[in-house]
Amino acid sequence: MPAPAPGFGSRIPPVTLLDVTRPAAARLPAPSLNDIVDRLSGGYKSVGELVYTILREAILSGALAPGEKLRQEAIAETIGVSRIPVRSALMQLEAEGLVTVVPHRGAMVTMLSAAKVRETFAIRSLLESQAIKLAIKSLTPQRARQLAELADRLDDPGRTGDFLTERVAFYRLLYAADENPVLVDLIEQLRSSVGRDLLGLRVRDHDHRHRGLVDLVVAKDLPGARRWIKSHLDTVCTALLAELKPG
């Protein structure tokens, strides 16, 4: 795999682990772009899909920080592809809100503002309130068991594996993505465009463990589940706002 070209992937910002119930915060390294490229290089049907997946994960994991310029030539050289799939991937990421294209300046990782964070989390709260209602209505014993297993893995402080992937899987299963694809896609787009992973953050929320939400859903406690979701989203939103400059 070629070395990263200058100006792309050479600066790896730290990942901050925010503990919202304790004053101390630990720091963990973000993955490097080369690590992501090496891990994702196989198993894709097209070069375009590969480039899109690499860039999306690099942004969400913090390997590419908000405001970082995305030069097509450097990206193509780093991944080992032509500029055509890179250009296509950047257009797709722009449509998702992860990349911003500025006239005469090119593409960059989207910068977050406090106003955008607040608005997005307010919309998420409304959508997820409806999603949890549908989840309780359609819950099956099999789905309940699967949710409990996923929740226990996510809540395990000694867990290994891809937290981001497993968290997405948990909420897709919880909100019955197969039955409510449009609603779940909207929630996922909002989570990606203004999420803790976009800033390279991991918010350790001791008061809102995933198993607690599963227990409320299994008990068909809709008011309790809605309170859990709103409180959790408020906690994450507050942690994100603390990391942003006023705006």
**202 pLDDT band (50/70/90 cuts)?**
low
Residue 68 CB partners (closer than 8 Å, separation 6+): 11, 108, 109
pLDDT of res. 200: 54
Kindly state whether residues 120 and 239 are assigned to the same domain.
yes
- Which of 109, 129, 155 is the last residue in one of the domains? 109
Residue 62 lies in a domain: yes
Q: Which amino acid is at 201?
A: L
Whether 107 and 70 have beta carbons less than 8 Å apart is answered as yes
pLDDT of res. 21: 36
Residue 15 lies in a domain: no
In degrees rounded to 5, what are phi and psi of residue 108?
-150, 160
In degrees rounded to 5, what are phi and psi of residue 66?
-55, 130
- Which of 75, 109, 143 is the last residue in one of the domains? 109
Q: Which amino acid is at 183?
A: L
Assigned token pair, 141: 């014993």
The stretch 226-238 carries a mean pLDDT of: 92
Assigned token pair, 173: 């299963």
Kindly state whether residues 156 and 218 are assigned to the same domain.
yes
Kindly state whether residues 237 and 136 are assigned to the same domain.
yes
Kindly state whether residues 160 and 208 are assigned to the same domain.
yes
Least confident range from 82-96, 141-155, 191-205: namely 191-205
Kindly state whether residues 135 and 233 are assigned to the same domain.
yes
Q: Which helix (H) or strand (E) holds 86?
A: helix 83-95
What CATH number should be reported for the domain holding residue 54? Answer: 1.10.10.10
In degrees rounded to 5, what are phi and psi of residue 139?
-60, 135
Residue 169 lies in a domain: yes
pLDDT of res. 98: 87
Kindly state whether residues 105 and 124 are assigned to the same domain.
no
Q: Which of 218, 191, 212 is nearest to 96 (CA)?
A: 191
Kindly state whether residues 91 and 141 are assigned to the same domain.
no
Residue written as tokens 């682990």?
A: 17
Residue 60 CB partners (closer than 8 Å, separation 6+): 98, 164, 192, 195, 197, 198
Full domain range(s) for residue 166: 114-243
**204 pLDDT band (50/70/90 cuts)?**
low
Over the Cα atoms of the chain, what is R_g? Answer: 19
Q: Which of 117, 135, 142, 96 is nearest to 229 (CA)?
A: 135
Please state the domain count of the chain. 2
Distance CA 57, CA 53 (A): 6
Kindly state whether residues 141 and 226 are assigned to the same domain.
yes
- Which of 58, 82, 109 is the last residue in one of the domains? 109
Q: Which helix (H) or strand (E) holds 202?
A: strand 201-204
Residue 224 lies in a domain: yes
Distance CA 14, CA 93 (A): 23
What percentage of the chain reaches a pLDDT higher than 70?
78
Q: Beta strand pairing status for 201-204 and 99-102?
A: unpaired
Kindly state whether residues 156 and 228 are assigned to the same domain.
yes
The stretch 36-40 carries a mean pLDDT of: 76
Kindly state whether residues 152 and 95 are assigned to the same domain.
no
Residue 8 lies in a domain: no
Residue 2 CB partners (closer than 8 Å, separation 6+): 77, 78, 80
The stretch 81-91 carries a mean pLDDT of: 94
DSSP secondary-structure letter at 43? S
What CATH number should be reported for the domain holding residue 169? Answer: 1.20.120.530
Residue 1 lies in a domain: no
Kindly state whether residues 192 and 172 are assigned to the same domain.
yes
Whether 64 and 58 have beta carbons less than 8 Å apart is answered as yes
Kindly state whether residues 83 and 136 are assigned to the same domain.
no
The stretch 101-107 carries a mean pLDDT of: 88
Distance CA 52, CA 86 (A): 8
